[in-house]
Amino acid sequence: MIRNGSHAAAEEEEQAEPSSSSRSPEKRKRVIRVWCDGCYDMVHYGHANQLRQAKAMGDYLVVGVHTDEEIAKHKGPPVFTQAERYKMIRATKWVDEIVEGAPYVSTLETLDKYNCDFCVHGDDITLTVDGKDTYDEVKRMGRYRECKRTQGVSTTDLVGRMLLLTKSHHSNVDNAAYQLHTDNFGKEVNRYKGKNYPIMNIHERTLSVLACRYVSEVVIGAPYAVGKDLLDHFKVDLVCHGKTEVFSDTDGTDPYAEPKKRGIFRILDSGNNLTTDDIVQRIIENRLQFEARNQKKEAKEMAVIEALKHKEDSLKTDAALTNN
């Protein structure tokens, strides 16, 4: 699926730009630098897909990440701190460089400062606190390109899942056989984590992990216990786990007993104690603020959509009158 999306982005780019073979030798040598910016709060596979598409439009991707202060001013409180968001974007596969504390409004000055040819954003609406398009200037000056927004996921949506304790996202796949697997994998996580877990379904979690620059391959539906068959089949040399608690398997045994027996088990200290529980707790503690933020965002977007629809209707009316 990711490879197909890459091909689609490449095809769109070929239509927009001359092929490399048709450019002059000087232009072929020049590196195309692409700029993306955003809050990147609760980084998910939708963010990753945007960055993948943006990178496919050039050679070098620079990503600007806004500060907590800027996000709070224009959208409401972020879930993650800016330091956490910087780390998450740095760990995303397609990112070559990040700019910490990038301005909320994208300008030509910013693009020129970082030697970027153009700015890329999804085909959704991004507004300032006073309702203005944050990409207005770069759009007017022809240095803006659009990529497809990933449907079905957003920071607003993920916050909503945690606030409402919903599980509808586990039944949004049409294919019945695939849905059965999705439900089963979800139940496995729910068994040892309980509560409202997993927050994302298996499809969403797989895409999120694949977007990490340190991941080479993902095994969907891997067994909870890392046993002999799995270790031998994938020729595993080392098994690692963080410092979070390890829950026993259904029969009460240690899921890492086999790698420990082989002497290939290691505990890693990430230097960060943040867990999904902590993130959920942050949202619950700030429930009213996040609910207000979500409502405000939806209201602003609806107002823009209505304005665009009104403008489109007016143009159609004018055209009809002219033709008559």
Per the structure, the complete domain to which residue 64 belongs is given by: 2-17+25-147
Q: What is the mean pLDDT of the chain?
A: 80
Q: Within 10 A of 288 (CB to CB), how many other CB atoms are there? A: 8
Q: 215-229: string of b/e by CB count within 10 Å (b at 16+)?
A: eeeeeeeeeebbeee
Whether residue 154 is contained in a domain is answered as: no
Q: Within 10 A of 204 (CB to CB), how many other CB atoms are there? A: 21
Report cis status (omega within 30 of 0) of the bond before 259. Answer: no
* Among 54, 40, 118, residue whose Cα is nearest residue 84: 40
Whether residue 158 is contained in a domain is answered as: no
Cα(62)–Cα(76) distance, rounded to whole angstroms? 25
Tell whether 104 and 213 lie within a shared domain: no
pLDDT 10s per residue in the chain (324 long)? 333 333 333 334 343 444 444 455 555 578 999 999 999 988 889 999 999 999 999 999 999 999 999 998 888 888 899 999 999 999 999 999 999 999 999 999 999 999 999 999 988 777 777 778 899 999 999 999 999 888 777 777 877 777 765 445 444 444 444 344 444 556 666 655 655 677 888 888 999 999 999 999 999 989 999 999 999 999 999 999 999 889 899 899 999 999 999 999 999 998 888 888 888 888 877 776 666 666 666 666 566 567 667 777 777 777 767 776
Contacts of 271 (CB under 8 A, 6+ apart): none
pLDDT at 7: 37
Whether residue 287 is contained in a domain is answered as: no
Whether residue 235 is contained in a domain is answered as: yes
Tell whether 210 and 242 lie within a shared domain: no
DSSP secondary structure of 243-303: SSPPPP-TTS--TTHHHHHHT-EEE---S----HHHHHHHHHHTHHHHHHHHHHHHHHHHH
Would you call 209 exposed, middle or buried from its count of C-beta atoms within 10 A (0-12, 13-18, 19+)? middle
- Check which CATH number belongs to the domain holding 34 and give it: 3.40.50.620
Q: How many domains does the chain have?
A: 3
